[in-house]
Chains A and B, each alone.
Chain A
Amino acid sequence: MVDHAPSLDASLSQAARRPMPLTESAGARIALIAIALGFLLLFLLLPLIVVFAEALRLGLGSYWAAIREPEALAAVRLTLLTALTVVPLNAIFGIAAAWAITKFQFAGKNLLITLVDLPFSVSPVIGGMVFVLLFGLQGVFGPWLAAHDIHIIFAIPGVIIATLFVTLPFVARELIPLMQKQGTDYEEAALMLGASGWQTLFRVTLPNIKWGLLYGVLLCNGRAIGEFGAVAVVSGHIVGLTTTMPLYIEVLYNDFNFPAAFAVASLLTLIAFATLILRAILEWRADWQLARSRLH
């Protein structure tokens, strides 16, 4: 009987001749890239192109006219007011929450982290509706608020509170893992050298977390500007008074005023672009900072 098993030498030289299959064949690679590109072009790029094409369909003149309508400007103002109120509050909450969770060991921490995350997993519509149940005319505090002539639902405070709910986790979620990684060594050193708690926060902790904080603020701001579901429940769609930009888009679209709806939508799209670009810059800064801290 002849031994057909190839010797080790032979199989090694065979392996050396044949390229090792460490990647897919050129055909498969091209096909996969084509599938990925096609998928992203169809689902991501096309909607973007449509926004600007539809916004400019009637020319630049009517585009400008649409975004300079008093109602459109009122929507822009309300959106900015909402973002300017919500973002600082959630940033302060985020810093306090991250400080509490990362600087101390105490019972129930994981439950608290889950509660911080909760607004992300709840439908935004529910995020708006809970405040209708609290402050609406038939809500828990409804009769009392009505008696004192305080308007929350179908008014600006409702819009702000609903936005607070949906954007609550952004800053905290960025800061908690970051501060966990950094530990408490720097803070303990500062405190032992005689710094007060606030000095430690402002001179040691905040400079260390500034990029993460900015990142969270950026994401929080983007969502606050674009929030729709939660705000739709509490706003009442009073044009010029309680319609944020996304709600104003809905009003225009339902009136079949498509060019104007897309004109306002194009503004929000530009804000989304700006958010993505700033995000990329912050990520690059954070990587750079990380790389530098490794070198030292």
Chain B
Amino acid sequence: MIGGAVAIRQRSIVPGFGLSVGVMLTYLGLIVIIPLCVLLLKASDAGWAKIWMELSSLRTLAAFRVSFGIAFLAAAFNAVFGFIVAWVLVRYEFFGRRLLDAMIDLPFALPTAVAGISLTQIYAGNGWLGSALAKTGIKVAFTPLGILVALVFVGVPFVVRTVQPVLQDFDRETEEAGALLGASRWNILRRVVFPPLIPAVMTGFTLAFARGIGEYGSVIFIAGNMPGYSEIVPLLIIIKLEQFDYAGATVIASLMLVASFILLLAINLLQAWTRRQQGG
């Protein structure tokens, strides 16, 4: 008996192993593990015919295309601009830098519904920017472009906050060496500075993408939610639930869950890569 316990865990004089692990497993079990297992079980209950019917429906396919495609574009947009913001915040001194730095986390702190109605008000046809854009023929609100704007908003902090610490710890001696050896600034950036930052940018990109495919609150107000055009997967799940199509909702949700698992795995690997780059 004791031998078995030792194999599972090393002895420690710190007490509370049973209690803390017990509390943790009970709580995780009740709130996360059992509910998610029920979701997967219900989806498998649906049967292959229903699963196939659900996943091959044009409406579902379009929703997946909208959610994943626009989340990808928004994450790419944030990778570029987030990198520039991180660079400016770490490398340059200018008036208002600290305030700007504090503002970056706003999308984490601001409730998504607030962001949603505010962005809609800005980009609607009679809105602050929407009216000017309408004159040039660009419609943002109630189109996929509106979804892009909302997902860019929620994704801002991810790239900035993953690149910033790496850039802060960056060993500037290699840059100095490059400059001493006569390399131009662009060559130094391209060959010395950017390569070690790639894992951090990719981590931020993947975090923003993962957040984007599941995002609901900030999107539904501005999206217009036209099936097949600007309807996102989370909304489709809610619509199916409201129509008591539980089987359909669970099938789609399970697929999203699998995507989240894969992205979580990718993020963990990317973070390990980032740490290795930082250490080496």
Contact = CB atoms under 8 A, between A and B. Distances in A.
A126 B117 contact: no
Nearest to B10: A105
A217 B92 CA distance: 33
A131 B94 CA distance: 49
A71 interface: no
Interface string B21-48: 1011001100111111011001000000
A63 B87 CA distance: 41
B54 interface: no
Nearest to B182: A15
Contacts of A125: 214, 216, 234-235, 237-238, 253
A215 interface: no
Interface size class of B (residues with CB under 8 A): 35 or more
A73 B12 CA distance: 51
B268 A114 contact: yes
Contact of B234 (A227, A229, A261): A229
Contacts of A22: 172, 175-176, 179
Contacts, number: 292
Given A123-B256, A129-B39, A250-B113, A115 B185 contact: no
Interface in A171-217: 184, 187-188, 191-192, 197, 200-201
B32 A168 contact: yes
Interface residues of A, number: 97
Q: Which of A133, A226, A275 has the most CB of B within 10 A?
A: A133
Nearest to B23: A96
B49 interface: no
Nearest to A135: B35
A124 B153 contact: no
A258 B54 CA distance: 37
B100 A268 contact: no
B8 interface: yes
Given A32-B87, A168-B32, A122 B257 contact: yes
B1 interface: no
Given A126-B256, A226-B110, A39 B85 contact: yes
B182 A29 contact: no
Contacts of A229: 112, 214-217, 234
A101 B23 CA distance: 12
A192 B39 contact: no
A156 interface: no
A126 B14 contact: no
Given A116-B28, A129-B237, A268 B264 contact: no
A190 to B, nearest CB: 10
B14 A191 contact: yes
Contact of A100 (B21, B81, B185): B21
Contacts of A117: 264
A275 B21 CA distance: 31
Nearest to A34: B88
B20 interface: yes
B72 to A, nearest CB: 16
A105 B88 contact: no
A191 B10 contact: no
Nearest to A90: B27
B75 interface: no
B202 interface: no
B109 A276 contact: yes
Contact of B216 (A92, A100, A222, A228): A228
A-B pairs, top 10 by smallest CB distance, nearest first, are A123-B214, A226-B111, A228-B217, A106-B9, A130-B35, A229-B216, A21-B185, A197-B15, A100-B20, A96-B23
14 contacts: A22-B176, A29-B92, A44-B104, A100-B23, A106-B8, A106-B9, A122-B36, A140-B38, A226-B109, A232-B216, A272-B110, A272-B111, A275-B109, A276-B102
